[in-house]
Structure 1
Amino acid sequence: MASSSSKKFDLNAVPNVQPEIRCSSFLSQKGLLMTNDSVMLDDAIAASVAKWIITLQDEKLLTNRTDVEAINDSMALSIQCASSVSNMARRLQVRRNEVQELRTQVLILQRRNRGLQQENKELKKLVDSYANDLGKKYSELEMNTNRLREQQESLLLEV
Structure 2
Amino acid sequence: MVSSSQNNFDLNVVPNLQPELRYSSFLSQKGPLMTNGSVMLDDDIAASVAKGIITPLDEKLLANRTNDEVINESMALSIQCASSVSNMARRLQVRGNEVQRAKDSSFDFATKE
What TM-score, normalized by structure 1, do the two folds share?
0.37
- Please state if 1:85 is matched with 2:92: no
Matched-pair contact (CA < 8 Å) for 1:51–1:78: no
Q: How far apart are the structure 2 equivalents of 1:55 and 1:87?
A: 22
Unaligned runs of at least 5 residues, structure 2 = 1-22, 26-47
Flag the structure with more relative contact order, 1 or 2, with Cα contacts below 8 A and sequence separation at least 6. 1
- The ranges of structure 1 where at least 4 consecutive aligned residues each deviate by more than 3 angstroms after the TM superposition are none
Relative to 1, partners in 2 of residues 1:84 and 1:60: Cα closer, same or farther, differing over 3 Å? Answer: same
Contact 1:51 1:81 in 2 (8 A): no
Residue aligning to 2:54: 55
Contact 1:51–1:82 under 8 Å retained in 2: no
Equivalent positions of 1:35-50 (< 5 A) are none
Deviation at 1:59, TM superposition (A): 2.2
The aligned counterpart of 1:30 is none
* CA shift for structure 1 position 98: 0.8
Give the length in aligned residue pairs.
67
Which stretches in structure 1 are left out of the alignment for 5+ residues? 1-22, 26-49, 115-159
CA distance in 2 between partners of 1:90 and 1:106 (Å): 24
The RMSD of aligned alpha carbons is: 2.5
What residue is the counterpart of 1:118 in the other structure?
A: none
Aligned residue in 1 for 2:65: 65
Shift of 1:73: 0.5
* 2:35 alignment counterpart: none
Higher relative helix content: 1
